[in-house]
Amino acid sequence: MDGLLVAHGLNISFEIVVLALVSLGLAITLGLLGVLNLAHGEFVMIGAFSAFFVQSQGWPYLAAFPVAILACGAIGWPVEKFLIRPLYARPFDAILATWGLSLLLREMVEFFFGRGFNSVAQPIKGTVNILGADYPAFQIVVMLAAIALIATIVFWFLRSVTGRRIQAMVDNPDLAKAVGIPVDALARNTFVAGLCLAGISGVLLAPIVAVHPSMGIDYVLKSFFVLVVGGLGHILGLVIGSGVIGGAEATVSAIIDRTSGYSFVLILSLLFLWRRPNGLVAR
């Protein structure tokens, strides 16, 4: 019985960590740049396809990370320049434009890889026994990698010169420009970094889920809900938001059924959007 509790605990933790991981990139583009990137999920998808591509070439799994970063960077760069930059001041239009982008990316991946499901083999096979619960070893690695990644990004953001420059730019772009911070380049790099993080999360998830061109839709909404519930102001928001969304869905699914679990997450997010749009951890 203990093993069962541990197993459920691990499942919920994994769910929460994955939510946080997938939301990290969106937290950067939305939280720092104010761009609600509806194509966020498509960059997760591109990351997953990078893993598939790498494996089909017979390269090692780890090679998927640079490939995903290259792919997301190569797409993100022109996207920022031609699509996002003119729209920083028009958040509404940015939603529409990135929605168009998501359509475009989906169709383009279909063009290259077809519409079917693809499979990425798990680089680490088998299960490990944790306190009486058998748990997939690779999912433990994903969890640890995700936590390390989030911690690194947060630490870097708080401590590095670039991190502080980004903060300055977010607080007051004009002033930042006036003191010589190259705001345009910085915003571009931040945006592209957010996309690359989405790609990295795609690489990490690819061996666990079905890899197909429409998979991105699953992620963008949940990520957005996480940020709505958690709040955009603080890294803590990301963690708490993931905890609330992941925890609520798991709990309600367990008590009633999965359809109710999903409806509950929708309703909870709607309530937050409505009554508390700044989330639990306000800026």
Partner 1 sequence: MNTQLKRREVLAGMAGGAALLSSPAVLRAAGNEAIKMGTFFSLTGPASLFGPTQTACTALAVDQINAMGGILGKQVEIVAGDGGLSPAEAAQAAIRMTLQDKVDFIVGSHNSAVRQSIIAAIKGRVPYVYTPLYEGGECAPNTYVTADTPQQQVKPALNALNEMYGTQKVYLIGNDYVWPQKLNERAKEYIAAFGGEIVGEEYAPLGPGNKFDDAVTRIRAAAPDLVFISLVGGDNVNFNRSFAGFGLDSSIRRLSVLLEELTLFGIGAENSDGLFSSMSYFTAVESPENDAFKSQYAAKFGADGPPLSMLGADAYSGTHCAAALLNAAGSNDASAVMSASNGLSYTTATGTAVMTNRHVNKDIYLAECNGVAFDIVKSFKGVAHGETCSV
Partner 2 sequence: MVWLLANATFAGAGLFLLQFVVDDFIAYTLALYFLYAIACLGVGLSWGQAGLLSLGQGLFVGVGAYLSGLSLIAFSDQWFLYPLLVSCCMVPGALGFGIGQLIFRGRTLNGAYFALITLGLVLLASLIATSWNSVTGGFNGLLGVPGLPGLDGFEHAYVISASALFVAILMVAWLLATPLGVLWRAVAEDERRVAYLGFDPNLLKSVALGLSGLLGGLAGVLYAPINNLVTPDLFGFALSTNFIIWAAIGGRATVYGPVLGAVGIGLLTVQLRETIDYWEIILAMIFMGTVLYFKWGLLGYVEPFIKQILIRSTAPLTPAPPRNPTGVGTLDIKGLELQVGQVRILNDLSLSIDAPGIYCLIGPNGAGKTTAFNAMTGELSAQSGQMSIMQSVVASPDARTLAQQGMGRKFQVPCVFDALSISENLSLALWTARIDRPALLGFEALQWTSVIRQELERRFPFLTERSRLVRDLSHGQRQVLDLAIVLCTEPRLILLDEPCAGLSKAETQDVIDTVQWAAASLGATAIIIEHDMALVKALADKVFVLHQGHLLAEGTVAEIQGNEKVKTVYGGGSK
Site size toward partner 1, by CB under 8 A: 42
Q: Which residue's CB is nearer to partner 1, number 59 or number 262?
A: 262
Cβ contacts of residue 230 below 8 Å, gap of 6+? 236, 237, 238, 239, 240, 241, 242, 244, 279, 280, 281
Cβ 35 vs Cβ 95: under 8 Å: no
Nearer to partner 1, 121 or 270 (CB): 121
Site for partner 1 contains 86 (CB under 8 A): no
Any alpha helices (H) in 114-234, and if so which ranges? 137-159, 161-171, 173-178, 183-205, 216-230
Strand partners, 133: 130
| Cβ 280 vs Cβ 240: under 8 Å | yes
> How far, in Å, CA of 248 to CA of 12, rounded?
10
Binding pattern for the stretch 206-245 against partner 1, x by CB under 8 A and - elsewhere: --xxxxx-xx-xx--x------------------------
Work out whether 277 is an interface residue with partner 2 (CB under 8 A).
Answer: yes
Give whichever of 93 and 107 is closer to partner 1, judged by the CB atom: 107
Looking at residues 42 to 101 of the shown chain, list those that interact with partner 2 (rule: CB under 8 A). 82-83, 86-87, 91-93, 95-97, 99-101
Q: How far apart are CA 33 and CA 169, in angstroms?
A: 9
214 contact choice in partner 1, partner 2, none (CB below 5 to 8 Å, kind-dependent): partner 1
Q: Which residues bind partner 1 (CB under 8 A)?
A: 4, 7-8, 11-12, 14-15, 114-122, 125-127, 134-136, 138-139, 208-212, 214-215, 217-218, 221, 250, 253-254, 257-259, 262-263
